Structure 1
Amino acid sequence: MGELPEATPNRAYVAEVHHHNLLASAIGDQKLAGESIIHNYGKSFNGFVAQLLPDEAEKLLEQKSVVSVFPNTRRKLHTTRSWNFLRMPLTPKRRSKTQTDIVVGIWVDSPSFNDKGFGPPPRSWKGKCVTGANFTGCNNKVIGAKYFNIDDEALPEESPSPADENGHGTHTASTAAGMPVRGASMYGIGRGTARGGVPSARIAMYKVCWSVGCSDMNILAAFDEAIADGVDVISVSIGGPTVEFFSDPIAIGAFHAMKRGILTSCSAGNTGPYPMTIENVAPWIMTVAASSIDRQFTTKVSLGNGEAAPGLSVNTFSPKKKMYPLINGVLAAKGSGADAMIASFCDYETLSKKKVKGKIVYCLEGMSAQDYTIKRLGGVGIIVALAEKTDVSSTTIIPGTFVEANTVGKSIDLYINSTKNAQAVIHKTTSSKIAAPFVASFSSRGPQRISRNLLKPDLAAPGLNILAAYSKLATLTGVPEDTRHSIFNIMSGTSMACPHASGAAAFVKSFHPDWSPAAIKSALMTTATPMKIMDMFGELGSGSGQINPARAVDPGLVYDIKMNDYIAFLCKQGFDKTKIALLIGNKGFNCSNIRSPPGDDGINYPSMNVQLMTANSNISAVFHRTVKNVALGTSTYNARVTSPKGFSVEVIPSSLKFNKLYQEQKFKVVVKGPPMPDETLILSGFLEWNDSKHSVKTPILVSKPLSEFD
């Protein structure tokens, strides 16, 4: 997955011939090589997909001109008011002429993609609009559409087309750059103005996911096309198991995008609150965690004894009666004894249809789709008791809500078991204000496994209960038995957070079109809002904090990283020099000619993180950093450090003076301390550079070895 051959009129063809010859030399058969190749990447980087036996893959990897060989795997999607909460007004001061030429790449008929007032696509745009089933073409808002189904992965019921059949792409695209739509709601819930961060931006969509998942070969093909098409920001709400960078298609694609000045924003994953679950960790990627906004969707249950039971869900149904019979899984069981206890989880085969029909059923949290089960058995509602506290309001296919098992759940179960005529009614969802922001419980946490001294995620953005555009080709829940369709839906996930950060990046880039991807990421990180830590691993899931796009336009200082800095980082990390040479297209490259970057992490990153070698190691780390002045006029920045007991932080020098725009100054941060207490896994603090106009914040984290988080 290295750089393409030198630019020629038939560059793609030259790459294709090279791929064929390379494979033929590895497997020893010209004809078989031609039959084995499935797809060639030759627009933005050099690579191909082929059907190979394990021994053939090994032989290919032994070739000196091969960066990496890895099996095609399937990755998954990381599945209104949010921009107001980020203090981005509906009509902020914008460089609209510049923003009109931003491309951040659906159900194109959504009002969120109305192209009224847009002129033709920018001259720099080289992409195409591919039509297909349920997709008749683009407009001047959605200027590009392509789909990738290289290995014929789409099922018969899935039409090969750019059309969004599950709603995910429509939701994320409209979050990043959708047009303002007043009065938007999901069946009246969450009513307000739905809009993207940069409504004046153009959108190009690249469909890589089908019902079986999102394959590596499709993801790489989309990167290859998007870079060549001329996009400005790439938003990827997809992830999978963390692997080393040269075997990670998103890391590879994002690297080639970075080389061409394109920022790639990626979701962090949805396997929190557990540690070591973070995904998309390459330093040239902007890794986005999910945070909350100040709105929560609540669904109240009224019990027959007059008590009210609060819960979380998105319930679009209004009750038709004042009360319905209420039963729990044990009482609705087919059998008795042990069978009845198993039935408390409401698995389909354990419940009696006769006992469930016409009733609301109280269930303990199980592994199956319990609302689907109760619907099939004729139930009219469901209350699910969750073992752990949640902050997600999930949409149910029948009237339903989710309650805390140890508090509200116990009260409901006690009421059911203390009367012969238990009754309840589940009300339609309403919204309420909550304290925010905080990291969503599902958002993946660090520490990461690949580059242990690199803090990921980088920052957080709203990803909890987000209202945005949706595809009419999909039901609200995606379940075929669900008959509800809506042009807006409420969804949660780092998938929803990622396009918020992508839109914010496009917003910053519109003011600073000459800034590098690293400078834009730095601006968003150093101006972010620190968040309330809600759990023991929250500090490993929040990065620099929640984005503040308006402040990021004028950050004062940025930590810039150029391609050569990333190369030096890869050398220091021990990556093979020959593979690095292929990656950057420099045959004469040698790591020995690169000066090893100073400091414990070896990269000019806008955060500072050290992972101790052993649990009882003394805290000792040195970080070398360079900041660039991006504000007009002279200024003097003074260092301010916030750190807990347990380690000391010294900044040398503690004052930086800038006399002109783009002037750079170096400093180092020395962190010291005794071994961390046995019960402590993380110590954190902040370095702030302040000139009375700008506050440039950088998190400093010290954590114990990965083994301590198992």
Structure 2
Amino acid sequence: MKTSNTLLIFALCATLCLDRIAGFNKAYDDHERQTYIVYMGELPLDRKSVTNAHHNILSEAIGDEMVARRSKIYSYKRSFNAFAARLKPHEAKLLSEKEGVISVFPNKVLKLMTTRSWDFIGMPQNVKRNIGVESDMIVALLDTGIWPESPSFNDSGMGPPPRKWKGTCATGRNFTGCNNKLIGAQYFDLGGSVGPDASPVDTEGHGTHTASTAGGVAVEGASLYGIAKGTARGAVPSARIASYKVCWGNGCQDIDLLAAFDAAIADGVDVISVSIGGAGRSFSKDTMAIGAFHGLKKGILTVCSGGNGGPYPGTIQNVAPWIMTVAATTIDRKLVTSVKLGSGENITGISINTYVPKKILYPLTSGEEARNSSFPYGEASECEQGTLDRVKVKGKIVYCQGSGGDSVVPQLGAAGIIMSDEDLDDIAYALTRPGTYVSGEDGTRISKYINSTRSAQAVISKTKSTKMAAPTVASFSSRGPQNLCGNILKVRSIPHCKMPPCLFADSEIIQPDISAPGVNILAAYTKLTTLTGEEGDARLVKYNILSGTSMACPHVSGAAAYVKSFRPNWSPAAIKSAIMTTSKRLKITPIGAELASGSGQLNPKAAVNPGLIYDINLVSYISFLCKEGYQDKDIALLTGSRKYSCSSVPQAKGADGLNYPSIHLQVKEDDSDIAGVFYRTVTNVGTGSSTYKAKVTSPDGLSIKVTPNVLTFTRPNQKRSFKVTLEGKLPAIESWFLSGSLLWTDSKHKVRSPILVSSEIFDYD
């Protein structure tokens, strides 16, 4: 009896102690929590079940039903599907991985998000604007045409086109016409390949996407089936857009491209944006270089994509120094499409998957298991054409080694596809059916799971957005140096070049010039094609997510128009200089990164007030061409005039002979000695007097001397010249690059120029 009383007292004490500890833990637990919003997209048809669904998914993440009830703050269920709750960071992470959850983010005072790219590069929606001048800016897009009915081209509140506009609005099939936002639309099919159906309308989506990125108005709630939801907008939403269709189903012909340049320049545009590339040619035979040079003479800056031939060196395109050449970088938004296996294992993949699964799990097989025994050719494990048995595939998710099965598996009635890619990166692609790309390592895990059971199952979740470290140069983005095939006289063959006859130009210019967001960019799209454009895809969308230097180019075009709205009298070279010298260095900058990223990441706000600019006049470009080995006849072809000749222009000084905002010295292939002199002149575009001091960053083995190293200005528009001397030796290792920089700084401005020394020979293997 005595013992049982003692035990009872002990039990009561223990209960009281545990209650007190629980109370303490609850207080501590609540202190650790912060408010998050869990966004789940559109409302289901049965809205009554929303609250219970919120509670259930929250309980699963927290692991305690009572704590979950206490943690939940509110259910949003009238217009969209979401809830607010107090969560620990690891609970928020668990929720973000749950099926049906699009995003989980902390409760902060938020501003409307863009397609994310403009906010990411420091240009929020409320950025300072010179609206009166911006509304007179005209951005020309030479592309696949435009879809005028997109909300991004709404002209509500806009006045008539500026008086300088001399363009027209053509008619054509499926084209509804222009307005005060889209003030011009023309098409060029000089070869007559399209016939009577020719129209300025965009049937591809590419031109609409680039136009809205450069100058689209703000559209709230834009998304791709709820993916990447935010406010889609361009850099200059008050500016006007002129579309020139030069690309058709058979590509973009030189004759059409040049005709579009001709029209745009005469029409009075301010910036020309061209997301088109081609093989390198002599400038005198390059329609892009020729058209851009004519624009230059009229004060028009041409901005071009650098190409999608990366990560190989020598793949950069559109390299004329009067063109602004753009590389593509990532933003801090990653599009994740996860796979959940029947074993409970979760695998993170990359794709754009708009489909919400209708089942908890689907049967899972592999290409190897679904082999078509009557077809002895091809690799079934890679899901090659003809290798799979339709009966074994239908209704199942199929795992394929490699990335080529997306064109085969959906046609066989599969429920989805998982592909493995050894070089998986952060670029997401849309598929016609539920699908995702996983790493080679994760692909091996999936294969092992399939082989371990007779009833393998899996489900592919709808894509959601997550944060990632950025910016980095996109893997596909073309790299310098200029690798020109069949160019001018001063060339040499490159060993190991995989595209013979390949020749290496002597040009001492770093290209690309600048980097800008070009990965997973949400922008307007056409209704005349489907999301993927593939057979069997019926999804028509107002906004689509695309990647490429094509997407990076209009970011810079729009930024150039933004700068020009504050500096309408600046030359194209001045605008280009301002954008380059105020750019931000990328977080990840490997040796020789300048040939991938140029001067750095686009920073439009800073470019309006750069402090100093490197200006270049027309005669200086001619002098540069003469130094590069161009003959008078070549220059006449390029400029359209015979009044310029190498005998009548001043001889270019220095290693490159051009007042460029960056410096590049190429060392002879048989010489490790570094010796180069560069002459530069800067113009003060600040207000009042100022003194700039040179700050040099130099790697081991390279001496950078600036003379003078202090520049004093007493008035605006005053010019000062200096000399940069490079000396040293290339390192005796298999690294062909030495990277440094020159920074001119006063108390307000930082004017940075990258300096690169490279060998003429690169190992292409």
Q: TM-score, normalised by structure 1?
A: 0.86
Tell me which amino acid in the other structure corresponds to 1:175: T
CA distance in 1, matches of 2:120, 2:670: 40
Corresponding residue to 1:217 among 255, 268, 275 = 255
Corresponding residue to 2:168 among 128, 146, 150 = 128
CA distance in 2, matches of 1:582, 1:207: 25
Aligned residues: 625
Deviates more, 1:468-477 or 1:637-646: 637-646
CA distance in 2, matches of 1:346, 1:268: 33
Q: Are 2:192 and 1:152 equivalent residues in the alignment?
A: yes
Q: Are 2:603 and 1:551 equivalent residues in the alignment?
A: no
* Aligned match of 1:409: 443
CA gap 1:356/1:588 in 2 versus in 1, 3 angstroms:
closer
* Aligned match of 2:511: 456
Tell me which amino acid in the other structure corresponds to 1:145: A
* Aligned match of 2:395: 358
CA gap 1:439/1:382 in 2 versus in 1, 3 angstroms:
same
Corresponding residue to 2:159 among 111, 119, 122 = 119
Corresponding residue to 1:397 among 432, 438, 444 = 432
Deviations 1:480-530 (A, max 9, x none): 311001100000000000000000000000000000000000000000011
Deviations 1:408-438 (A, max 9, x none): 1111111112222111100000001111111
Deviations 1:279-315 (A, max 9, x none): 0000000000001111110011001111111111110
1:439 and 1:534 in contact (8 A); partners too: no
Corresponding residue to 1:427 among 461, 464, 486 = 461
Tell me which amino acid in the other structure corresponds to 1:667: F
* Aligned match of 2:204: 166
Deviates more, 1:604-613 or 1:532-541: 532-541
Tell me which amino acid in the other structure corresponds to 1:417: N
* Aligned match of 2:101: none
* Aligned match of 2:416: 381
* Aligned match of 1:285: 323
CA displacement at 1:326 relative to structure 2: 1.1
CA distance in 2, matches of 1:326, 1:535: 41
Tell me which amino acid in the other structure corresponds to 2:158: F
Task: State the percentage of identical aligned residues.
Answer: 57
CA displacement at 1:538 relative to structure 2: 3.9
CA displacement at 1:681 relative to structure 2: 2.0
CA distance in 1, matches of 2:262, 2:333: 39
1:327 and 1:416 in contact (8 A); partners too: yes
CA distance in 2, matches of 1:708, 1:593: 40
* Aligned match of 2:27: none
CA distance in 2, matches of 1:544, 1:325: 50
Deviations 1:574-602 (A, max 9, x none): 11113424644554543123221111111
* Aligned match of 2:474: 440
Q: Are 2:708 and 1:653 equivalent residues in the alignment?
A: yes
CA gap 1:588/1:470 in 2 versus in 1, 3 angstroms:
closer
CA displacement at 1:212 relative to structure 2: 0.8
CA gap 1:426/1:205 in 2 versus in 1, 3 angstroms:
same
CA distance in 2, matches of 1:173, 1:675: 44
CA displacement at 1:532 relative to structure 2: 2.9
Q: Are 2:657 and 1:596 equivalent residues in the alignment?
A: no
CA distance in 1, matches of 2:384, 2:519: 28
Q: Are 2:681 and 1:641 equivalent residues in the alignment?
A: no
* Aligned match of 1:507: 562
Corresponding residue to 1:684 among 739, 747, 756 = 739
* Aligned match of 1:26: none
CA distance in 1, matches of 2:237, 2:573: 23
CA displacement at 1:81 relative to structure 2: 1.2
CA distance in 2, matches of 1:594, 1:383: 61
Deviations 1:305-350 (A, max 9, x none): 111111111100010001111111111111399857x111111211
* Aligned match of 1:138: 178
CA displacement at 1:274 relative to structure 2: 1.0
* Aligned match of 2:229: 191
CA gap 1:580/1:636 in 2 versus in 1, 3 angstroms:
same
Q: Are 2:234 and 1:200 equivalent residues in the alignment?
A: no
Q: Are 2:304 and 1:266 equivalent residues in the alignment?
A: yes
Q: Match of 1:603, SS?
A: coil
* Aligned match of 2:631: 576
CA displacement at 1:652 relative to structure 2: 0.9
Deviates more, 1:355-364 or 1:201-210: 355-364
Q: Are 2:294 and 1:256 equivalent residues in the alignment?
A: yes
CA gap 1:116/1:451 in 2 versus in 1, 3 angstroms:
farther
CA distance in 1, matches of 2:691, 2:193: 58
Deviates more, 1:442-451 or 1:98-107: 442-451
2:375 and 2:387 in contact (8 A); partners too: no
Q: TM-score, normalised by structure 2?
A: 0.80
Tell me which amino acid in the other structure corresponds to 1:669: V
CA displacement at 1:678 relative to structure 2: 2.9
CA displacement at 1:632 relative to structure 2: 0.2
CA displacement at 1:403 relative to structure 2: 1.0
1:615 and 1:704 in contact (8 A); partners too: no
* Aligned match of 1:81: 116
* Aligned match of 2:105: none
CA displacement at 1:451 relative to structure 2: 4.7
Tell me which amino acid in the other structure corresponds to 2:139: V
CA gap 1:700/1:336 in 2 versus in 1, 3 angstroms:
farther
CA displacement at 1:91 relative to structure 2: 2.3
Larger Rg: 2
1:525 and 1:545 in contact (8 A); partners too: yes
Deviations 1:606-634 (A, max 9, x none): 01011221154212211111110000011
* Aligned match of 1:319: 357
CA displacement at 1:391 relative to structure 2: 1.8
Superposed counterparts of 1:471-490, under 5 Å: 471-490=526-545
Deviates more, 1:201-210 or 1:82-91: 82-91
Looking at both structures, which has the greater relative contact order when contacts are Cα pairs under 8 Å and sequence separation is at least 6? 1
Q: Are 2:366 and 1:328 equivalent residues in the alignment?
A: yes
Deviates more, 1:446-455 or 1:434-443: 446-455
Q: Are 2:654 and 1:620 equivalent residues in the alignment?
A: no
Corresponding residue to 2:586 among 527, 531, 536 = 531
Tell me which amino acid in the other structure corresponds to 1:431: S
Tell me which amino acid in the other structure corresponds to 2:596: G
CA distance in 2, matches of 1:278, 1:118: 39
2:704 and 2:724 in contact (8 A); partners too: yes
Q: Match of 1:591, SS?
A: coil
2:736 and 2:762 in contact (8 A); partners too: no
Deviations 1:222-273 (A, max 9, x none): 0010001110000000001111101111111000000110000000001111
Q: Are 2:280 and 1:245 equivalent residues in the alignment?
A: no
Deviations 1:55-99 (A, max 9, x none): xxxxxxxxxxxxxxxxxxxxxxxxx11111111121221111101
Tell me which amino acid in the other structure corresponds to 1:438: T
Q: Are 2:332 and 1:294 equivalent residues in the alignment?
A: yes
Consecutive unaligned residues in structure 2, runs of 5 or more? 1-114, 141-145, 484-504
* Aligned match of 2:130: 95
Give the superposed CA RMSD.
Answer: 1.6
1:187 and 1:316 in contact (8 A); partners too: yes
